[in-house]
Chain A
């Protein structure tokens, strides 16, 4: 619809004015109901880029290619454990190799816990998991500037904590390429 046509019609102009007013009202209402953070895109919304999920912005990247050695980005931990399993050594090696060859990529390593225990302490425990992964990558020569170990604690469970399998799924650190 051209602007010309739009303003030729008085009724439409009035409707537009009403609409603008309505928008303003909505805006004011939003102001009075506290700070609203901008929505982030759907990719960011889904949280971690754990194995199997494809991030459209990076669709062609090797970490989103099921045949790539760095497609798997999740490290699982035993109950009350904060050491990377020896069976994950090959996966650590693959990510380290990729990061060293691609210095322009950064990763966030995101630690998680199951829901037993209190929020802040679990946040620290999740960080112990992401830090364990970060240290191993660091030992393999990945520069610190390319990595950040953070934690979601028990705040963003991937699976419901309803049973042992779900809780095991949440004792995890994910690598998210950025």
Chain B
């Protein structure tokens, strides 16, 4: 058994062809599951912090009965946090019926150990049970059981990784959440839905016209977006499970920038039906349209505050675009106040899940992702790239996903809110843009 040395600490690229996920995809197609996308996301992680938590995840008993290894997903998720370091378990297979030799694992510098069993259930289902141990204190930390079908094996891996992170760090894991993003290949645009690691992607919409600004409903069941399929920007709400769509707003002129209210009952959008782009709210079924801003400049990119009382938005009423805040009932219920001051150009406001910070894009050399502490007013630039766009917080608030450009390629990137861990997610041969990180699903 060998320790994986520090190469994990800097850059880990998973070549698509060697990725266990690729094998799963091939298998999936032979089973007739054809909705998986062949274009696989590649992840590169860098700038990992100094003190990585060493953990060993052994192979689970009877895991070989599965078409793909659940523990590969668990280990990959843990590495992607930038906080864990996988101790190579070698060929060890460890089940939960025997007490593991914790001294053996602590001698190999693993501070935690995850072991498990896979049981086949009738109807092609599997039950996966895992247990977590503290090898230093020599105690059990608990575990969980997940029942899944063959198609959902990655979900089981994500659920176990979430449980490990929760038990070891106290933070809620985000591996079971999903991403949406737009790919562009030649002249074809696709709205994609994938796992949080960019794998297991499915096509939700294909169009020869652009699609922008996808946003998740708070319950994770719908995505609202702007599609140009009728030669103008129109806002749709798309139910992911059924593929059913409604036109949320198709007023004369532009319809864009959808944002869900925290309870999911309403959306704020931008319309240009009165000439200039202004912010409106309406019910999630498209009824009860109300104008919220009352200016002669551009007001767009509304974002609800977490308590639903305010709306943050981009406006160039002061000459250059800056972020402002107003009552969610509209500007006439109190003046809008300016929120950003540091840069001459600030757009794309996004509120963190705890409501305490605001991510936005500022012109500062290039267009760069910023994080504003709403209490202190401190602003931190989180990136060194020049074409950052469309920030989106992970559901636990620890990472921000955004679109950027590396060389001439459009890719997605994620950065931890302290700026220490960065991931790049790219699809070979494809432009990837307009990402949105989905909510917790339960």
Q: Could you tell me which A residues sit within 8 Å of B by CB distance?
A: 29, 32-37, 39-40, 44-45, 47, 108, 110, 116-121, 123-125, 127-128, 131, 135, 148-153, 155-156, 176
9 tightest Cβ-Cβ pairs between the two chains A and B? A34-B203, A155-B210, A124-B277, A150-B232, A32-B35, A124-B298, A121-B347, A34-B204, A118-B347
Q: Are A131 and B34 in contact (CB under 8 A)?
A: no
Bound complex: CA of A150 vs CA of B272, how far in Å? 8
Q: Are A149 and B206 in contact (CB under 8 A)?
A: no
- Chain B residues with CB below 8 A from A119, complex form: 212-213, 389-390, 434
Contact A148:B253 (CB < 8 A) given known A32-B34, A33-B35, A120-B348:
yes
- Chain B residues with CB below 8 A from A153, complex form: 212
Residue B423 lies at the interface, judged by CB distance under 8 Å to chain A: no
Residues B311-327 near A (CB distance < 8 A): 314, 321
Bound complex: CA of A120 vs CA of B226, how far in Å? 10
With CB as the reference atom, state the residue of chain B lying closest to A28: B34
Q: Are A117 and B367 in contact (CB under 8 A)?
A: yes
A-B contact pairs, 27 of them (CB 8 A): A29-B34, A32-B35, A33-B203, A34-B191, A34-B205, A34-B243, A35-B238, A35-B243, A37-B206, A39-B208, A110-B231, A118-B361, A120-B300, A120-B348, A121-B298, A121-B314, A121-B347, A124-B254, A124-B270, A127-B277, A131-B272, A149-B253, A150-B233, A151-B233, A151-B254, A155-B212, A176-B231
Contact A118:B204 (CB < 8 A) given known A34-B191, A125-B298, A148-B232:
no
Residue B24 lies at the interface, judged by CB distance under 8 Å to chain A: no
CB distance from A172 to the nearest CB of B (A): 16
- Does more than half of chain B's interface fall in helix, strand or loop, or is it mixed? strand
Q: Are A124 and B300 in contact (CB under 8 A)?
A: yes
CB distance from A31 to the nearest CB of B (A): 8
- Chain B residues with CB below 8 A from A121, complex form: 298, 300-301, 314, 321, 347-348
Residues B239-268 near A (CB distance < 8 A): 243, 245, 252-254, 256-257
Residue B228 lies at the interface, judged by CB distance under 8 Å to chain A: yes
Residue B307 lies at the interface, judged by CB distance under 8 Å to chain A: no
- Chain A residues with CB below 8 A from B35, complex form: 32-34
- Chain B residues with CB below 8 A from A39, complex form: 208
Bound complex: CA of A125 vs CA of B229, how far in Å? 20
- Chain A residues with CB below 8 A from B233, complex form: 123, 150-152
Residue among A45, A118, A151, A156 making CB contact with B389, cutoff 8 Å:
A118
